[in-house]
Amino acid sequence: MAYDIDPDQSTSIVAIFLFIDAAFLGFPVLSTMLNGGAFPVVALVLVAGLIAAGVGLLQGRRWGWYLAMVVVGLSVLLDLLRGNLLALVIDALIIFLLTRPATRAKFGVR
């Protein structure tokens, strides 16, 4: 069964989820830093990567597709460690949308 999903809509949906994911990860990190906690380098790099990937996807950049796949993969690992099932479902949806043939073709990914 083939899923014909418009690549422009898929890209927009994925970018929105990446920005939401960055917010849910970034605000607690920011709160920790403002309260004098440790400087979470990995979390900050992941937040920056999520935002950059979303912007790259919206601009139709090939690197945005690759970066999105990398940061979502890292996010999956963190979600598995935390046991966050809802985030895993959202990450699976992102990967599903990014790997549709029409979406891959839009970004020139084989």
Query: Domain boundaries in the chain?
Result: 7-106
Q: Digits of tens for pLDDT over the chain (110 positions)?
A: 566 789 999 999 999 999 999 998 888 888 888 888 787 888 889 999 999 999 999 999 999 999 999 999 999 998 899 998 998 999 999 999 999 999 999 999 98
Q: Are 64 and 57 in contact (CB under 8 A)?
A: yes
Residue 86 buriedness (CB in 10 A; 0-12 / 13-18 / 19+): exposed
DSSP letters along 11-53, please?
HHHHHHHHHHHHHHHHHHHHHHHHTT----HHHHHHHHHHHHH
If you compute the radius of gyration of the chain from its CA atoms, what whole number of angstroms results? 15
pTM of the model: 0.88
